[in-house]
Structure 1
Amino acid sequence: MSDLILNINISESRKKGRIVLETYDGTIPHLKNKQYSGPLRNANINGIEKIDNLSSVELELIRNYLSSSKNVQVNKYQHILSDSGLRELAQFAKYGCLFYKDKSTSMNQVETVEINGSEEQSFITVGNAGIAYNKTELFLRVDEADEDVARQISSKAYVNINTKDHPLELVFEYDDFSVNYESEERIVGADSNYRDFGYEERVVSIVKRNNWNYTKNIGFIYCGKDFPKDIANIMSDGINVYIDKKTQIARGDFSNIQVSYGIDWFDVNGTVEIDGQEVNVADLFDFKQRKDNWVEFNGKVFALPGSLGTAIKTADKVDDGIRIGKKGIINAVEIAFDTNGGNVIGIDNLINYSDTAMSIDKKLLSILREYQVTGVRWLLSLRQNGFGGCLADDMGLGKTLQVISYLSDASMNKTKNLIVVPKTLLINWEKEFAKFSPDTEVLVYHGSGRDSERIAKYKVVITTYGTALNDIDEILKVEFDNLIIDEAQYIKNSKSKNHRAIKRICAKTKFILTGTPVENNIQEYLGLMQLINPEVFCKNIYKLKNVEDAQRVEIVRKITSPFLLRRMKKDVLKDLPLKQEQVLYCTMDSEQRDLYTKMLQSIRYEINKKNDRFEIKSNSLMLNGLLYLEQICCHPQLLDKTHNPDGCRKSAKFDQLLDILENLYDSGHKVVIFSRFTKMLQMIEKQVAKRHYNYFYLDGKTNNRMDLVEEFEESETGIFLISLKAGGTGLNLVSADTVIIYDPWWNPASEKQAEDRIYRIGQKKNVMIYRMIVEDSIEEKVQRLQKEKTDLYEDLLNGHETPMGLTAEIMQNLFMAD
């Protein structure tokens, strides 16, 4: 907590012959005697953003007053006030922050300021003004006719354009008197006036803001990356810049340049305005070239944007413009950003991937749908042109399959590829490779036993964001051909540790996968684009941040469109099956795994004591054992304290569900979640309510079933939480397009019945079924056993909540290690 204190220093005012006001940072207590006591810190008014005793409006009024051209800031905290502006002090007294101090007085708070109104006071003469005081009253005498005349101050910068550090000398001209910024002189000109520290520091801040660092005895040294741009910025703020005593840098306006994409090239046309004179873009080829894109014109010099200078050196002069080949897209895009805000006409036609050659396994090709083939060609085309991309298909359109197909292309045979995924999707990726590209050498680089020496030996390495962050130094030892970043919204914050680590990974081509490329704002989206195509976006991303409103959105769309492929389900309806199914695997963390292992060991111990054949229904041990393991997979908090003594609260499946729901809900999908554990549904309910999702809940205790269904059907968005017993039959939920089977059921027919609440007559949308399975658990074994013994399960489990008639041999296969 701190207050701004304005103090009129009467002693200093006598010395300087003008009213001196000082700015301090302190704390103004409740002053009974109106005298300040306490520590004070010198404060530069220009560096204060917020203060406790003033509103932002009041602070800005004080700042503007002190920064007036008639006032002079002689150092960090002292200001010499113009006589003509002294009336403003009366207003500051009303703010309660104005004080005065003389040699023989304490620091007194000023409550009223009287101008030219008292004849009884004994005034102290200060220049042309007079000052007197009496306790909390301040009296000022001002000669109204003697108005101050503002001094003419101008600034010049002399810069060396031939060296890398571009040293800069700053000179100020007070009327006809010049003084170097580094000079110790404080008095300038024939009238012996003070230098205006405030004005000079404002000019210095402009220079520093444009990447010149200042060190005493060394001066201003350039540390930026775009010298011509920074020079232009300085000039636009009113500083005249020279390269020597005679040669001034001219002002160049490149905003009338237009960049467009033709059949197989980019055309750059338009005019450049140099100190008010227009020339055609093609005329730039004829100007005398200096070092680093500097050219001469009419006795002055000016800098071409680096991108335009590159084009003049490498591209062709055509009529009144410049023609850049198709492969020069980076140069063309940079010219657009450096001249007209990033607008490239026709850039959407740049990546023509329809004819891109593709050579993948025939069996895999036969699986791909038409839009997926298009996606693979698009990925290959971007790689061939040296660009990265963002595959942003709607959830459920097979982004993973498209990437696997891309990596299986013959052109990838001898490549090294890294795939970074959230921990919850690690097993999914491994299993998808095993299913669709079993011959691909895949290394899952994760876990305590991982060996970094193996990274360079595999065609495909799959790791998690956390592992990539922890092992970044080892990963950086390998240069990959492709870096695939799944669920890229995880690293949308460009300042996060994960984003920075991923950004450092060496790869010739980078692709990101996400169903929600834009979640919160354009900056995050641009950060992802910068990650995959740093050469295109690195220099220009900051310019985009400064462009506002609809124009900004349009510029971003045009410049990113060649690198983004997004298809929605409605757009590829003819290519989709009536119903798609996908198993989502998740991996327990150590705490959840420890609980599961202890429970499993306890059950195995009991099983080993019983060798006879028996019916499941007659053995509570088996039923309870299955139940406990299922509950641990769903969420350990489903267990009572007896079976979860350490209070484990970690659930990989629950975390993955929340991630999936965020993507689905933000993408406008209507979701139905089924679980046979009502307590589990209640835990999910708390989280969806916390996130303010529109949700509905139905279990065996729900009375208004049909009212809920009708309300859900009429809503535009929604998540419906339904228990198996209550909602497995009798409901029509055709407005939903997504089903999540949270926990697998022993009776496959029950799952089918649940699915049919959504996938039935009247359904006009494509339906996506997600089955959530915990890897290396009872859930995965049941799923595997169901596939191996389909007929047995259909015969034994159909119509039953719990498997009946299973022998001890089958049950032991579920509980025993593989």
Structure 2
Amino acid sequence: MSLTVGDSRTGDWFDLDVTVTVDGEEVPFLALFSALSAGDEFLLLDSGTWFSLDSPELTQLKTLVAEARAMVEEDGPGQFRLRPEHAGLWEELSALGVVAEQSAAWQSAVAALLDVDELPAVDPPERLRAELRPYQQTGFEWLRFLWRSRLGGILADEMGLGKTMQALALIQSAVEADELEAPVLVVAPTSVIGTWAAEAAAFAPDLNVAIITETGARRGAHLGEAIQDAHIVLTSYTLLRLEADDYRDIAWSTVLLDEAQFVKNHSSKAYQAVRKLRARHKIALTGTPLENNLMDLWSLLSITAPGLFPDPRAFTEAYRKPIESGEATALERLHRRIRPLILRRTKSAVATELPEKQEQLVPVELSSQHRRIYDRHLARERQKVLGLVSDLHQNRITILRSLTMLRQLSLSPALVDASYPVVSAKVDALIEMLAETIAEGHRALVFSQFTSFLALVKQRLDAEGIGYQYLDGRTRDRARRISEFRGGTDPVFLISLKAGGFGLTLTEADYVFILDPWWNPAAENQAIDRTHRIGQDKPVNVYRLVAADTIEEKVMALQESKRHLFDAVVGRAANVAAPLTADDIRGLLD
């Protein structure tokens, strides 16, 4: 088999020709592929020559060509149009035959994508007021390569490794090279905008930063006027969604999507707004590019590398369905395809100077009174849910409401019925552990998904005379609360999981208490990484409090059963929980 890749006359595409010869005689590609697809054992050529089709190479060729037909443009039999995003497909095809010819542009584009050691060396920006760690220098060079190649990608470093710093290095480098012809748009959750502004001011003070915190009607100026002379424009996903047309009318040099999992839902308005932005390339920054299922990953790739998997239906058939049914070969194939466009490093691999992190599961026994109430509700909710789970799509909301009730009952009966006693073995256990922690001079982050449960914890902390700060999604003075914890002496910070799962650096604390497990362990890991990140100089201790013999134990088991998907597709040291299936729900109620 002979492969030829040449420059196309159309944009940044490349023309790929696949030619198969037997003893010097060219085999018609269409006839060969048809015979392979039909499962024929032999192929008879027009010259009368026949040859066996029973070879691993031809079987692999059939698989790759079928995939290519679904994913890339086909100009004719054996002729395809590739973009550099398809480097993974090219790597497998070239392993089957002889590369007769490849253009210099293709070779330089593909080599660095397939091996970061092949990245062109780039000096760090002179005006960046920070020394990049070796892995950050590699990340910066990777981003710089994507910039110059006009390719998008996903910087998926584990949380706490400095993705913002690497992005700032990219922007500063582009400014110093006089390559920034238009501003960079950074889209982030509202709570993270302040962090971006502070880091830009500290590490890249030469960059002009425009912070958009209001709609045009409120600020009294059009977006174009508000961002004049800016190198970086900071805005939130909410404001982008509300003023999508205004942002689309501006040509951006690049778009950086921080906490990019916010646009994982490809049917959301925020996703549509990001897709329609005009930029030379788009980069997703997220430690969790895959949270719920493989379509999360497709959504981010469709934004950053739209030519890789253009059709979500083809992606579903080729990858999602086979992988979710446990087909290992499809998983391996997807991993090879996405590897060139995702750069992921873990703390254990590149930040070995970080203190160790110890995690411990703490079983908590319910009191007899609490147990009777829980068991009574469990029997009733189990009967109801098992009667509904056969039609999960129609009854999902009702089922999730029942499961949420059982999770709250595991914490305290008072969370579901004000007439029930305000008892909680978990609060008792937490106070005991905090007392010892504080006495030894440590500080702690305490996370729960239920603000109603955090309210019970606040009552006990007040009664015990333990100082604390508090943060949930409704906290208006968020920055002040964070500043008072970081600069103050309160030993405890109570945080709702959704409000504090990202955008915070709280290395002043070295103890973390997770009061209730969530289906998606990635959310818990994000919370833990508020303190186990660069800048931490103390060992971090994590305690997960789990009510014994309750739905919480089942949730922990469910988490473990779902971890392998993220690890296999994206890399180690992060987690995913797929959407709850009917079998998952039955398992929770066993």
TM-score (norm. length: structure 2): 0.47
Q: Which is richer in strand?
A: 1
| Pair member with larger Rg | 1
Structure scoring higher RCO (CA < 8 A, sep ≥ 6) equals 2
TM-score (norm. length: structure 1): 0.35
